[in-house]
């Protein structure tokens, strides 16, 4: 495994701590936070919202919130990652510096300009799918090709396991982050996590960033990487 593994009984709490620590240690005035989707992300963002709302040491007005991937559905669709982020986080914390949802209608080059306008991404949150995907980088997908300089692409799951056309940061785009934090919960992720720990060739194992932290649920996955 590339990066640090941390087993925890409280993944959302560990995620919230990681964001608050990265914010406190940010090199610039503002803080760029890149978010994802899925049920684990929802729990993490709810926890971050309740830990930071009104906190003196965390100022959401200095935080620029971006998306690492999105499903190409209307913004208010129950499957939209931006809806998840709004409900679980943005609606809870008041004004943020900015929020830049991915819009498949505008296309990947438009979001690439958004991402490229930030000198660096301070932190990206990533999940791990049971098939080893992360963001919307699926096994066997063209989006994994790193032969060009693209930061953002559109993608589909060539194996048909994950619904919707997607937009996603590429490995290169993710690699612009100072810190990548994976949150992994649930026994259905065991094979994927085993592949990551043993250097297997799943998309999540290919992530590079300034540093990479794996927050793994001890109860459901505690024995996988030992």
- Residues near ligand 6PG (CB under 6 A) are 36-41, 69, 81, 127-129, 133-135
Cβ(14)–Cβ(8) below 8 Å: yes
Handedness of CA 53, 59, 61, 65 (dihedral sign): negative
Output the CA–CA distances (angstroms, integers) from residue 152 to 68, 114, 163, 178, 182, in the order listed.
9, 10, 19, 18, 19
Strand order in the sheet with 63-67: 4-8, 211-217, 177-184, 121-127, 31-35, 63-67, 98-100
34: phi > 0 → left, psi -120 to 50 → alpha, else beta; which? beta
Q: Which of 7, 87, 18, 91 is nearest to 58 (CA)?
A: 18
Report in angstroms how near the CB of residue 180 gets to ligand 6PG at its nearest. 12
The nearer residue to ligand 6PG, 63 or 207, going by C-beta atoms, is 207
Report in angstroms how near the CB of residue 38 gets to ligand 6PG at its nearest. 2
Report in angstroms how near the CB of residue 125 gets to ligand 6PG at its nearest. 8
The nearer residue to ligand 6PG, 58 or 167, going by C-beta atoms, is 167
The nearer residue to ligand 6PG, 22 or 84, going by C-beta atoms, is 84
In this structure, the chain runs to a length of 226
Report in angstroms how near the CB of residue 129 gets to ligand 6PG at its nearest. 4
The SS3 of residue 189 is helix
Report the residue closest to ligand 6PG, judged by CB. Answer: 127
The nearer residue to ligand 6PG, 26 or 137, going by C-beta atoms, is 137
The nearer residue to ligand 6PG, 26 or 173, going by C-beta atoms, is 173
The nearer residue to ligand 6PG, 33 or 135, going by C-beta atoms, is 135
Report in angstroms how near the CB of residue 43 gets to ligand 6PG at its nearest. 8
Report in angstroms how near the CB of residue 161 gets to ligand 6PG at its nearest. 10
């Amino acid at each position: 495994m590339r990066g640090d593994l941390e087993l925890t009984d409280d993944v959302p709490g560990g995620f919230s701590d990681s964001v608050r620590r990265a914010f406190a240690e940010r090199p610039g005035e503002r803080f760029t936070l890149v978010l994802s989707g899925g049920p684990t992300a929802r729990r993490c963002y709810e926890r971050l919202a309740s830990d930071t709302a009104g906190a003196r040491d965390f100022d959401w007005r200095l935080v620029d919130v971006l998306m690492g991937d999105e499903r190409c559905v209307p913004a208010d669709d129950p499957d939209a990652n931006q809806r998840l982020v709004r409900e679980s986080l943005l609606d809870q914390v008041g004004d943020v510096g900015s929020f830049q949802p991915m819009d498949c209608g505008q296309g990947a080059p438009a979001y690439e300009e958004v991402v490229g306008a930030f000198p660096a991404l301070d932190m990206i949150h990533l999940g791990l799918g049971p098939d080893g995907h992360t963001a919307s980088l699926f096994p066997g997908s063209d989006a994994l090709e790193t032969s060009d300089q693209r930061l953002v692409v559109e993608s589909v799951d060539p194996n048909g396991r994950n619904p919707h056309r997607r937009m996603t940061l590429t490995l290169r785009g993710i690699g612009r982050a100072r810190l990548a934090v994976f949150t992994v919960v649930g026994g259905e992720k065991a094979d994927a996590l085993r592949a990551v720990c043993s250097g297997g060739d799943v998309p999540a194992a290919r992530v590079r960033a300034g540093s990479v932290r794996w927050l793994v649920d001890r109860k459901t996955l505690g024995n996988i990487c030992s």
